[in-house]
Amino acid sequence: MAYPAGTVSLTSGDWILTDAVLGSAEADRKNGAQAVRLQQNGTLSMAFFLPNGANTVTVQHAIYGTDASSSWELWAQSEACNCNKWTKVGNTVFTTTATLQTAAFTVNIPGKVKFEIRKTSGGAARLNLDDFAVTDYGVAQPSLDNDHLALGNPSGATADPSYPNNYLLLKPQFAVGYNRDQGKPNWVSWHLDISDRGSSDRQDDFRNDTSLPQGWYQVQSTSYSGSGFDRGHNCPSADRTSSDENNSATFLMTNMMPQAPQNNQGPWATLEGYARTFLPNNEVYIVCGSYGVGGTGSNGGLTTTLDQGRLTVPNRTWKVIVVLPVGDNDVARITAATRVIAVDMPNINTLNQDWSTYRTTVDAIEAATGYDLLSKLPIEVQTAIESKVDAGPVL
């Protein structure tokens, strides 16, 4: 049953609801007396322009009652264009839980602007939205410190089993965009500062990740045996030595990729160590991963899969390192002058052992992978730092 279209007056102004209503039922997830409830391809649109532009937008969202998951998007329209054109902001959001969660968007639009929310999947499954909040253009962004996804979710991964090859795993130690059919991460992202370093020993407890959705194949500690490829860490063991528990988490197989030994133990390991030299005077954000199919390990010859085809051997391994001074509100401290190191290495056993020879741009990695890296940064900062090849010291 469709909800009738109409306009409602809220404290912020008039909003146009299409296949949406103000819900006050017990099953509506809300912070006050009511929340917007959308179904099908419902929309929630401002019938007015905000006068002071927008820096950030936050929205709370949850599934209605016991309904299935849905996805939605934020769109913006600037009065300056005088063209009635809507532009999508950030990644598609997937709502998978009945507990209100906060979705945050970096907008950075000056002048008058208005917004629209569009439900994009889930059909008759209903979705609640509440507490839509905007910070004016030029106002400091909300503080995001030590959040593994503070700089963005590269592929828009979501904790929805319906998207098995872009599945979000959030660990206290790192975030993973996991690919079930490839048996490895698309990417792993983490924050590193001196508090992550301690005296805990390397646990070496490689093991399957039991937190994967029921019925998914779990790559085993023995899945790489005899293959000629290392169980290559994305988030390295030595970045998590503050406790045995934190170090142990890095040995989950969802943090591993099949890596040629001379890649993993050579320039990749050297670069891992170099990233830690920025501590304690700096913090580091790191995102890395792999792409393509087919690598050459110690057994020789091109190998495309392991473990009876359940584990893809990548063709390339890549990493992006963002270095910033110690402080608060991490995103706000990254500027056009921030040092960013990006590398893209062949997954072979005869590569140059000097990691600096593989320096490239973030833009080039995005073009190769299709990801949107550092998406939470202001557009002008992204433009500046993503197009440069690092030329800084390497020791």
Q: Catalytic amino acids?
A: 233
Name the CA dihedral angle for 331, 335, 337, 340, rounded to a multiple of 10 degrees: 30
* Neighbour-count burial of 71, counting CB atoms closer than 10 A to its CB (0-12 exposed, 13-18 middle, 19+ buried): buried
**112: its two tokens:** 């008058």
Cα distance between residue 246 and residue 73, in whole Å: 34
Chain Cα centroid distance, residue 224: 27
**126: its two tokens:** 């209903």
Cα distance between residue 257 and residue 183, in whole Å: 8
Cα distance between residue 315 and residue 234, in whole Å: 15
CA nearest neighbour of 366 among 332, 333, 342, 339: 342
Q: Are 365 and 344 in contact (CB under 8 A)?
A: yes
Please list the alpha-helical segments (H only) found in the chain.
244-249, 261-264, 267-276, 362-369, 379-386
Q: Is 296 helix (H, G, I), strand (E, B) or coil?
A: strand
DSSP-based helix, strand, coil % in the chain, nearest 5:
15, 40, 50
Cα distance between residue 388 and residue 2, in whole Å: 51
Q: Are 90 and 155 in contact (CB under 8 A)?
A: no
Q: Residue 185's beta-bridge partner residues?
A: 178
Q: Are 92 and 120 in contact (CB under 8 A)?
A: yes
* Neighbour-count burial of 163, counting CB atoms closer than 10 A to its CB (0-12 exposed, 13-18 middle, 19+ buried): middle
* b/e code 310-337 from CB counts within 10 Å (16+ = b): bbbbbbbbbbbbbbbeeeeebbbebeee
Please report how the helices 379-386 and 362-369 are oriented relative to each other, as an axis angle in degrees rounded to 10: 100
